[in-house]
Structures are given as structure tokens and as C-alpha cells.
Amino acid sequence: MALSAESPETPLESYVDYGYGTHVGLRRQLNEDSYVVTDSLFAVADGMGGHEAGEVASSLAVQALAEGWESHGGIVTEVEIQDFLDEADRRIREATDSKAGTTLSGAVVVRTENQLQWLVFNIGDSRTYLLHDGAFIRLTRDHSQVQELVDSGMITAEEVHTHPNRNVITRALGAGDSWDADFSTATVQPGQRLLVCSDGLTGELTDEQIGKILNAGRNAQETVDWLIHQALRAGGRDNVTVVVVDVKDTPEDD
């Protein structure tokens, strides 16, 4: 499911460009990913549960997030984002009888002390990255069994792609006992490129491969299309969803 909306103030529409896309992949019957793209909120959800329940979970997650963002006029804080996610968790459990869940990752632009910042949030193993001055920076940490194994030194980052438990997550909306998001911030600057994606991309391509594509000079939509194409060429084992946001300029302070 895709959602798009506009803030009453549309604070970013004149100085960002973005592209987005999703594909069911080459081995799945149903696309359980959903995403939301607005002028200052960008997020991807990857549902799980099968029999269309995963699609319901991810759809409800982005709906609750977008509705909360819109009800606050696009001006939100970490507290409000978590409130929206709490509401998403409640809706998913009610609709699926707690038999489905979803990851969610993304970023919203907030203003702090006359400065624009990315407020990044994450639950599960969908990811948000930032390309800044040519450096490709991962802004989120996966909530997954394989991430815990990497952190403990039991496996390498390269072994994640082939580990039998690579799809087992430890935190999700609508399922389990923990759905609190991790939050971080990064200053919004001209020339940056934000990437939000489901693990259908990162499960097929390494960070190095993704970073090269982001640095190749294509515009936002062309970059999205090429990332999805490469994920399919690499196997397309899962649904793949990609959002790319380019910061063209920053507005003068009001």
C-alpha cells in the first residue's frame, strides 16, 4: 500500500525531490510492504503474517503514522511519533487478533533551534540511511536475531545475508511484547540523499553496492528504479520497497 499526503504548511516541497517504488519480488505472491511519502515524512513498513495479514499490518502502520502526522499539521516530536506507533500497534492487534506484525522505518523533518533535522525512527529490520558528502551512513540498527549475533561478534556482517535466521526480527508493531521505536537525529543539509527501504533491498544488496548506486548521479526516481532492478537481478527473494529523498536546498529561516 502507498500513501501520500501534504502538510498544511508544506515546509519542504520547494527544496526536496523524491522518488519511490515497490515490487512484489520474484518469489512472493503478495506484496506485504507499504510506504508513506509526504513533503516531510517518509517511511516504509514490511508486514509479516501471511494470508494477507502482513499487508493489513503494514497498511495500518503507515495509515496511523500519516494520520497522526497530518492531524498535527506536520509538526511533530519524538513523543508524538511514538504515540502514532502505539496507535498503529493497537489497530494491528485489533484487526488481526495479534496474528500479524510489521516493521517500520523512516524519518520526519523537524525544526529545532532554527535548524531542520531528520528525526529517524525504526522498529524491526527495515532501514534508513543517509548519503552525506559521498559517505553512505546507516542511521538505524536492525531489531533482529542476526544483528544481535553481529553485535556479539558471533557472525560477520557478510554472513547475515546467508544466515538461516536472517528474517527473524525481535521487535515489531502488532506482534510481541516490544514495539517502542529507536530514535536518532541528523541535521538536514543541501546535497544529502535519504534512503528508506525494506529488507527486500538490503537482503539482496550489500551496503557497499547500495552506496555506489546512490552515488551514481541519477535523480531520485531513477535511483529508486535502479535499486529495485538490482535487487531483482540479485534474486528478488522478498518484496522490495525503496524511498529516496534528495535535499536540493534549505529554506531561509522564517
22-57 pLDDT per residue, tens:
999 999 999 999 999 998 999 999 999 865 699 999
Instruction: Copy the grid coordinates of residue 213.
Output: 548506486
pLDDT at 13: 46
Domain span at 196: 2-246
pLDDT at 178: 77
pLDDT at 23: 98
Measure the CA–CA gap between 201 and 198, rounded to whole angstroms. 6
Q: Is the residue at 106 inside a domain?
A: yes
What's the pTM value of the predicted model, to 2 decimals? 0.89
Number of domains in the chain: 1
Instruction: Copy the grid coordinates of residue 187.
Output: 541535521
CATH code at position 239? 3.60.40.10
Q: Is the residue at 73 inside a domain?
A: yes
Beta-bridge partner residues of 184: 120
pLDDT at 49: 80
Q: Is the residue at 37 inside a domain?
A: yes
pLDDT at 176: 83
Instruction: Copy the grid coordinates of residue 219.
Output: 535523480
Q: Is the residue at 82 inside a domain?
A: yes
Residues contacting residue 75 through CB under 8 Å, at least 6 positions apart: 9, 110, 111
pLDDT at 3: 65
Q: Is the residue at 252 inside a domain?
A: no
Instruction: Find cell 538536514 and name the residue.
Output: 188
Residues lower than pLDDT 70 in the chain: 1, 3-14, 50-52, 145-167, 250-254
pLDDT at 113: 81
Length of the chain equals 254
Residues contacting residue 53 through CB under 8 Å, at least 6 positions apart: 47, 96, 99, 100
Q: Is the residue at 251 inside a domain?
A: no
Q: How far is CA 164 from the centre of its chain?
A: 23
pLDDT at 144: 76
pLDDT at 235: 96
Q: Is the residue at 253 inside a domain?
A: no
Q: Is the residue at 242 inside a domain?
A: yes
